[in-house]
Amino acid sequence: MLPAQQKDLFGHSNQGENYDKFRPVYPQEFFDIILKNTVDRENYIDVACGTGQLLFELNNSFKFSLGTDISPKQIEVTNQKIQKKNLQDSVQAIVCDAHSLQQISKEKGLPHTYDLVTIGQALHWFDTQKFFTEVSRNIMKQNHTSVFAVTGYFCRGFDYIVGENRFEEDQTIYNEFYDKVKEHFDCDRENLSLGYVGYDFSKEFKEIEKVETVINTPCSIFEMVKYLKTYSAYNTLLEKNKGNNGFIDPILKFEEDVTKKVQEIQKTSQSQFQNPIRMKTSYFLRIFKRL
Ligand SMILES: C[S@@+](CC[C@H](N)C(=O)[O-])C[C@H]1O[C@@H](n2cnc3c(N)ncnc32)[C@H](O)[C@@H]1O
């Protein structure tokens, strides 16, 4: 178990905006499943909301929605979106450590309990048992209808598009990049890639639904590079090497190698594709109720 994240690993310059533009989006099916399981629709809380990837897909179904995140930068972007969407009356976003949700809600005069609690792509940063106790005993409504929905995703690399509905699989370049950054993930990344099977939900929750899916998204090299730049591990690596003249940025090598390979493919196939690769992303969703 990892200690809860203390520093703001998602507060790097432009990371909020880039996160918003270049991260994969959750499948619509996941939102339908979450709502199908949530009968009461008064209060909704999205924990570690980032820039609102779950929050703004689900808020319309609830009277009041709250986004919380430890990163002021992410909350700043979320608040700008609340203003832009004119949602100030029904949605709020606050900086808050996920392990002290009830205390901070009380201090700020916000609702204390919720019909739906979501967490996307963040549990692997947390002290899970402490967080599970907080959610189940303090934040969920103490009935049998409130729902805890846990979701996440991980990139499995990418394929090259070599023709119409024809793809070439080769993970070498992605793996080379990943091997350079992975030790700088300050979280339990392995458990994320296992759909959180290593966490013991059973002390507080019973699982009522589980879904897994892989989505292939055609994209440009630029978009793939921008996505990889949102990895917190990549940003930590850059920070650790500030002022190191001998440091070679792994993303530059990645971009160079992929471009070269794409040029070779396009030369051989004599075709140009606007999106020459497709990103492969695994998604999972797990739905729980209190014991
Ligand atoms: C990868 S982002 C996920 C954002 C969004 N939920 C999504 O599904 O894309 C992880 C988020 O968890 C937040 N986070 C990490 N530790 C936290 C903690 N202890 N309390 C609250 N938020 C935390 C980070 O600041 C970051 O915004």
Judged by DSSP in three states, 38 sits in coil
Residue type, 215: I
Q: Kindly give the distance from the C-alpha atom of residue 46 to the centroid of ligand 1, in angstroms, as a whole number.
A: 10
Work out which ligand 1 atom sits closest to the CA atom of 23: 9
Q: Establish whether residue 56 lines the binding site of ligand 1, counting it when its CB lies within 6 angstroms of any ligand atom.
A: no
CB of 291 closer than 8 Å to CB of 143: no
Q: What is the pLDDT of residues 209-220, one digit of tens each?
A: 999 999 999 999
Q: Establish whether residue 91 lines the binding site of ligand 1, counting it when its CB lies within 6 angstroms of any ligand atom.
A: no
Q: What is the pLDDT of residues 75-128, one digit of tens each?
A: 999 999 999 999 999 999 999 999 999 999 899 999 999 999 999 999 999 999
Q: How do beta strands 43-47 and 277-290 pair?
A: unpaired
pLDDT at 4: 44
Q: Which CATH topology does 15-290 take?
A: Rossmann fold (3.40.50)
pLDDT at 269: 81
Please name the residue whose Cα sits nearest to atom 8 of ligand 1: 120
Average pLDDT over residues 8-28: 72
Instruction: Give the helix/strand (H/E) hosting 68.
Output: strand 64-69
Q: How do beta strands 277-290 and 205-219 pair?
A: antiparallel
Please name the residue whose Cα sits nearest to atom 10 of ligand 1: 122
CB of 176 closer than 8 Å to CB of 228: no
pLDDT at 150: 98
pLDDT at 91: 98
Q: What is the pLDDT of residues 225-260, one digit of tens each?
A: 999 999 989 999 999 999 999 999 999 999 999 999
pLDDT at 13: 53
* % of the chain exceeding 70 in pLDDT: 94
Please name the residue whose Cα sits nearest to atom 13 of ligand 1: 48
pLDDT at 7: 58
Q: Establish whether residue 123 lines the binding site of ligand 1, counting it when its CB lies within 6 angstroms of any ligand atom.
A: no
What backbone torsions phi and psi does residue 22 show, to the nearest 5 degrees?
-115, -5
pLDDT at 114: 97
Determine the residue of 1, 2, 5 to mutate for testing ligand 1's pocket, defined as the one with the most ligand atoms within 8 A of the Cβ atom.
5
pLDDT at 278: 96
Beta-carbon count within 10 A of 270 CB: 6
Q: CB burial class (10 A; 0-12, 13-18, 19+) of residue 102?
A: middle
pTM of the model: 0.91
Q: What is the pLDDT of residues 117-137, one digit of tens each?
A: 999 999 999 999 999 999 999
Average pLDDT over residues 3-20: 58
What backbone torsions phi and psi does residue 166 show, to the nearest 5 degrees?
-125, 135
CA atoms lying within 13 Å on the CB side of residue 25: 10
pLDDT at 12: 57
The C-alpha atoms of residue 92 and residue 104 are separated, in whole angstroms, by 13
Average pLDDT over residues 45-54: 96
Q: Establish whether residue 151 lines the binding site of ligand 1, counting it when its CB lies within 6 angstroms of any ligand atom.
A: no
CB of 286 closer than 8 Å to CB of 153: no
Residue 215's DSSP bridge partners are 281
What average pLDDT does the structure give for the chain? Answer: 92
Q: Establish whether residue 121 lines the binding site of ligand 1, counting it when its CB lies within 6 angstroms of any ligand atom.
A: yes
Q: Is the pLDDT of residue 9 over 70?
A: no
Please name the residue whose Cα sits nearest to atom 16 of ligand 1: 5
Q: What is the pLDDT of residues 167-205, one digit of tens each?
A: 999 999 999 999 999 999 989 999 999 999 999 999 999
Q: Where are the alpha helices (DSSP H) in 87-209?
A: 101-107, 128-133, 172-181, 189-192
The C-alpha atoms of residue 252 and residue 230 are separated, in whole angstroms, by 14
Token couple for 234: 């990549």
Q: Is the pLDDT of residue 15 over 60?
A: no
pLDDT at 247: 95
pLDDT at 22: 84
Higher pLDDT, 272 or 114: 114
Beta-carbon count within 10 A of 211 CB: 14
The C-alpha atoms of residue 26 and residue 153 are separated, in whole angstroms, by 8
Q: Is the pLDDT of residue 65 over 90?
A: yes
pLDDT at 3: 42
Q: Is the pLDDT of residue 2 over 60?
A: no
